[in-house]
Copies of this chain bind each other. A is one copy, B any other.
Amino acid sequence: MSEKIKAGVIGATGYAGLELCRLLLMHPQAELVAISSKSFEGMELSEVYPALYRETEERLCDSDEVIAKSEVVFGSVPHGLSEEYARKCVDKGAVFIDMGADFRLSDPADYKEWYGGEYKDAELHSRSTYALPEFFKENYKACDVFGNPGCYPTSVALGIGPALEAGLVEKKLVIDSKSGATGAGRGLSQNTHFAELNEGFAPYKVAAHRHTPEIEETLTRLAGERVSVTFVPHLLPINRGIVSTIYADLADGVTEAQVRAAYEARYEKARFVRLLPEGKIANLKYVKHSNYCDVSLHFDRRCGKLIVVSAIDNMVKGAAGQAIQNMNLKFGLAEDAGLALIPPAF
Contact = CB atoms under 8 A, between A and B. Distances in A.
Nearest to A177: B176
B192 A195 contact: yes
Copies of chain A in the complex? 4
Interface in A162-185: 172, 174, 176, 178, 180-182, 184
Given A201-B241, A243-B203, A280 B50 contact: yes
Contacts of A202: 243, 281-285, 309, 311
Interface string A35-65: 0000000000000011111110000000000
A238 B281 contact: no
A197 B194 contact: yes
Contacts of A15: 195, 346
Given A207-B299, A283-B200, A303-B172, A52 B345 contact: yes
A188 B199 contact: no
A101 B341 CA distance: 31
A152 interface: no
8 contacts: A51-B286, A51-B344, A178-B201, A188-B189, A198-B238, A199-B240, A229-B303, A230-B307
Task: Give me the 7 closest cross-chain CB pairs, A-B, nearest first.
Answer: A200-B285, A202-B283, A207-B300, A176-B176, A188-B188, A51-B286, A206-B298
Interface of A: 15, 18-19, 22, 25-26, 49-55, 172, 174, 176, 178, 180-182, 184, 186, 188-190, 192-204, 206-207, 228-230, 232, 234, 236-241, 243, 245, 247, 274, 276, 280-289, 294, 298-303, 305, 307, 309, 311, 315, 340-346
Given A55-B342, A180-B195, 6 more contacts: A176-B176, A186-B193, A192-B195, A193-B193, A198-B198, A232-B307
